[in-house]
Structure 1
Amino acid sequence: MEIPHYALVLLMLGTLLSLSILADIIARRTAIPRISLLVLIGVGVAVIQQWLLGQPAGPLEGLSEPMIQLALVMVAFLLGGEFTWERLRTLGPVVAIFSFSVVLVSGFVVGAGLWLLGFPLILAITLGAVSVATDPAAVTETIHEQGAADTSTGRLLLSTVAVDDGWGVIIFGLAMAFLGWHGSGDGMQAVLVALWELGGAVALGVIVGVPAAWLTGRLEAGEPTRVEAIALILLLAGGAALLHVSELLAAMVAGAMVANLASHHNRSFSEIEYLKWPFLVFFFVLAGASLDLANLTVAVGVTLAYIVLRLLGRLAGGWFGSSLVNARKGTLPKGLGMALTPQAGVAMGMALLAGERYPEFASTLMAVVVVSTVAFEAVGPWLVRITLARDDSRTKDNKTET
């Protein structure tokens, strides 16, 4: 009896969601991050598919890409919701200076370091842009576990991770535009394409976000708002793909429009927050499953270089940002950048998007980001605890001297 293709697809989707429940149980009972477990499940899928079945990389052909796009748009839309005028005024210049310093310095260290080590310019700039993304969930959970949410360091880190990925999306968009300009023989044409990719993304975000903000305040909470949230995500993902603009930037702009203009903006964000986890499960698993195991050994050198340079970049960025803040006011510890090492979904999304644009580097990019994500998700919370512990002991010493 012939088995329909969609039956296998549905079975695989159900299996992946079932395995995510198992991963959640294991993560709750061990110190292994849930995201790392989901990525490793994807790597297991890649092993079965490529080594045992002899098939090429990339499960759920024709379905994985839209699922990944939807997950990324959801994450970027929620990021845009953090950029409200009220929140930006609350964060103040200290967070802006510190977060932007960490992002710029760490991205420059990774990109310039990889280029000086002899890796291709496209790979170096892309990984430099990818490196600025942080996993806010890992940092936030660790800070609350340590009871440091009310300390000055804890508040600064919580505020920084809230906007860190937003800076990352902007820098990634600029990096892709620069690479498009650099790789084109026609300078004027390349400039126009780069302007369209960035300006078109902003325009799409405004065109979708402003009507959505108007509609949000006029819908009843519940199912109508849920339908609006799904429609919003589909319009952003489909529109960005159709117009060839940055979906991350478009979704972030739309999120900022809704957050600043809607009278009941929390409804849309709550619905998307409620809906996003199953899509993120597919995203992390499919990201791990997209590894090309045949070319994995080629990426060993660049992966090790990326991990070391990102750690150095975070350390240097935290030191530079703290120095700038301390020159104005306050006495921030110098090692705060090390608490911003966890890396997860946004970094993987950037690597996937860059891989679509530069397929010759797709397997290397995914290998670097998947391996480094597992490493940083494992080491990152430990570095957050060390940073908080040092700040706590430093505070006690100052009180003792006083």
Structure 2
Amino acid sequence: MEFHVFLYLAAIFGAGYVIKHITSAIKVPEVTGYVLLGVILGNSVVHLLTTPVLDSLSSVSTIALGLISFMIGIELKLDVIKKLGKSIMSIVTFESMGAFLVVSLGLYFIFRADLNTALLLGAVASATAPAATVAVIKQYKAKGELTSTILAVVGIDDAAALIIYVFIESFVSSNLSGSSVSVPSMFASALLSIFMALGIGVLSAIVYGLVLRKTRNNDWIMLLLATFMFALLGVCELLQISELLSIMAFGMVIVNTSPTLSKKSEGIISNFSPIFLVAFFVLGGAHLDLGSIRTIGLLGLFYFAMRSIGKMGGATLGAILGKAPKKVRSLIGFSLLPQVGVALALALAINKKFGSGQFGDVGSQLASTIINVLLFTTIITEVVGPLLTRYALHKAGEANTETDHQ
């Protein structure tokens, strides 16, 4: 089986190389190409990445989740957040909670979905993918108030989404297991889980910084960074707490306590993360069951509409209440639709938690529904999202218009 695993990985990376050329030529975000490649290679079309193969490669996705979490943490620089003022936290609070509430309530009361599905999809909806948005900002060399606000919001937003998810996962787990857990004890359990994850991440970052405080050699840093990343993934899995939250805290402490070590660590992660991220998006796409679109399609479109309303409306309201500059108030909502990064990470975490058989057929069906809804709507958000971000940057006068003619 191990021999076959290497061949599957070779096929994924080779196909990913081709997709990178195609998406570059037709100017489509790479992640969209990788997800579509996964759909083609998965159970729905070619049947190369079948369910047993996906299970055997699950550790690759877990490592990618850790890398995504670290990259989010590295973006959470306190001095930048403070400089941008209270409007940032106001926007993050209202757009993440807005998406969660509008999707959850809309699915439960209007679409008549079951409570567990509504809550988990609401939790996933609160996340925004920084990758696609940051790629557009870099492509157009954008600078200004709106650009700075967008970068801060997409970084902090994922932290908020992870916290919302931990609470909801705890509630749904109790609900499916039939245990009569009271709301106060459920919240206490979720809070304990959050603080444990954050505490382990913070403590690890402090030790990491102390050990490497006089080290400048990248080889030494790479070895210890790999040690801590894998240790955090393993410990969090053993304790059944959020590895995403723990590694995000690990990255955040490093970037705010040791800029030099942070820059070197970020450079190391940037060098080998593309390999894991390509596999992550391809394997994520392979989970999509095209045969389920007839039943998922309407649910997916409704989810997309509700999430768009929650995100754009919440961001605008947060900007108004936080007294953000005028162009931020009117345009910030256009830049928060992409969802393939952390939202896909959360969907795969849901698949790992509820699709493992621990909660029986109900849990497996729940996991399947959520990952298919997300992958179905990802195709829409990864095309529409970057176009809307480009529109907002041009409208704000912060994009370098010369890049359009290059």
Using the size of structure 2 for normalisation, the TM-score is 0.87
For residue 118 of structure 1, report the CA deviation from its aligned partner. Answer: 0.8
Residue 348 of structure 2 corresponds to residue 352 of structure 1: yes
Residue 83 of structure 2 corresponds to residue 90 of structure 1: yes
Q: Distance in 1 between matches of 2:204 and 2:211?
A: 11
Q: Distance in 2 between matches of 1:20 and 1:177?
A: 36
Residue 21 of structure 2 corresponds to residue 25 of structure 1: yes
Residue 53 of structure 2 corresponds to residue 59 of structure 1: yes
- Give the match's secondary structure for 2:55: coil
Q: Distance in 1 between matches of 2:251 and 2:327?
A: 34
Encode CA deviations 1:309-357: one digit per residue, 9 max, x unaligned.
111112211221222133x765644342122111212111101111222
Match of residue 170, structure 2, among 173, 177, 181: 177
C-alpha contact (below 8 Å) 2:42/2:48 kept by paired residues: no
For residue 389 of structure 1, report the CA deviation from its aligned partner. Answer: 3.7
Match of residue 125, structure 2, among 118, 125, 131: 131
For residue 216 of structure 1, report the CA deviation from its aligned partner. Answer: 2.8
Match of residue 376, structure 1, among 381, 391, 394: 381
Residue 208 of structure 2: aligned partner: 212
Q: Distance in 1 between matches of 2:217 and 2:282?
A: 32
For 2:148, the aligned partner's letter is: R
Q: Distance in 2 between matches of 1:180 and 1:363?
A: 16
Q: Distance in 2 between matches of 1:362 and 1:175?
A: 14
For residue 16 of structure 1, report the CA deviation from its aligned partner. Answer: 0.8
Q: Distance in 2 between matches of 1:31 and 1:366?
A: 26
1:218-237 to structure 2, matched below 5 A, reads 218-237=214-233
Q: Distance in 2 between matches of 1:311 and 1:162?
A: 19
CA RMSD of aligned residues (A): 2.5
Structure 1 residues 74, 54: CA separation in 2 closer, same or farther (over 3 Å shift)? closer
Q: Distance in 2 between matches of 1:54 and 1:282?
A: 14
Structure 1 residues 225, 320: CA separation in 2 closer, same or farther (over 3 Å shift)? same
Segments of 4+ moved more than 6 angstroms? none
Residue 5 of structure 2 corresponds to residue 6 of structure 1: no
Structure 1 residues 322, 243: CA separation in 2 closer, same or farther (over 3 Å shift)? same
- Give the match's secondary structure for 2:330: coil
Encode CA deviations 1:84-108: one digit per residue, 9 max, x unaligned.
4323323321222222221121221
Q: Distance in 1 between matches of 2:328 and 2:190?
A: 38
Q: Distance in 2 between matches of 1:73 and 1:39?
A: 19
Residue 155 of structure 1: aligned partner: 148
Residue 300 of structure 1: aligned partner: 297
Residue 322 of structure 1: aligned partner: 319
Structure 1 residues 101, 54: CA separation in 2 closer, same or farther (over 3 Å shift)? closer
For residue 226 of structure 1, report the CA deviation from its aligned partner. Answer: 0.9
Structure 1 residues 210, 299: CA separation in 2 closer, same or farther (over 3 Å shift)? same
C-alpha contact (below 8 Å) 1:177/1:198 kept by paired residues: no
| Equivalent residue pairs, number | 384
C-alpha contact (below 8 Å) 2:72/2:158 kept by paired residues: yes
Encode CA deviations 1:109-165: one digit per residue, 9 max, x unaligned.
112111112111111111111112222232223234445x22322232233223222
For residue 82 of structure 1, report the CA deviation from its aligned partner. Answer: 2.5
For residue 54 of structure 1, report the CA deviation from its aligned partner. Answer: 10
Residue 400 of structure 1: aligned partner: none
- Give the match's secondary structure for 2:85: helix
For residue 249 of structure 1, report the CA deviation from its aligned partner. Answer: 0.9
C-alpha contact (below 8 Å) 2:131/2:341 kept by paired residues: no
Moved more, 20-29 or 99-108: 99-108
Residue 271 of structure 1: aligned partner: 268
Q: Distance in 2 between matches of 1:215 and 1:285?
A: 36
Q: Distance in 1 between matches of 2:86 and 2:66?
A: 28
Structure 1 residues 320, 24: CA separation in 2 closer, same or farther (over 3 Å shift)? same
Structure 1 residues 114, 258: CA separation in 2 closer, same or farther (over 3 Å shift)? same
For residue 61 of structure 1, report the CA deviation from its aligned partner. Answer: 3.1
Match of residue 64, structure 2, among 53, 66, 71: 71
Structure 1 residues 171, 55: CA separation in 2 closer, same or farther (over 3 Å shift)? closer
Residue 192 of structure 2 corresponds to residue 201 of structure 1: no
Residue 140 of structure 1: aligned partner: 134
C-alpha contact (below 8 Å) 2:128/2:343 kept by paired residues: yes
Q: Distance in 2 between matches of 1:286 and 1:247?
A: 19
Moved more, 369-378 or 134-143: 134-143
C-alpha contact (below 8 Å) 1:73/1:247 kept by paired residues: yes
Q: Distance in 1 between matches of 2:92 and 2:186?
A: 31
- Give the match's secondary structure for 2:322: helix
Structure 1 residues 9, 124: CA separation in 2 closer, same or farther (over 3 Å shift)? same
Residue 397 of structure 1: aligned partner: none
Residue 362 of structure 1: aligned partner: 367
Match of residue 290, structure 1, among 264, 287, 294: 287
For residue 55 of structure 1, report the CA deviation from its aligned partner. Answer: 9.0
Q: Distance in 2 between matches of 1:215 and 1:298?
A: 54
**5+ unaligned residues in a row in structure 1: which ranges?**
394-402
Q: Distance in 2 between matches of 1:339 and 1:356?
A: 30
For residue 167 of structure 1, report the CA deviation from its aligned partner. Answer: 2.0
Match of residue 161, structure 2, among 156, 165, 168: 168
Q: Distance in 2 between matches of 1:122 and 1:265?
A: 39
Q: Percent identity?
A: 26
Encode CA deviations 1:31-62: one digit per residue, 9 max, x unaligned.
22211111111111114xx6666995352433
Structure 1 residues 386, 239: CA separation in 2 closer, same or farther (over 3 Å shift)? same
Match of residue 121, structure 1, among 115, 137, 143: 115
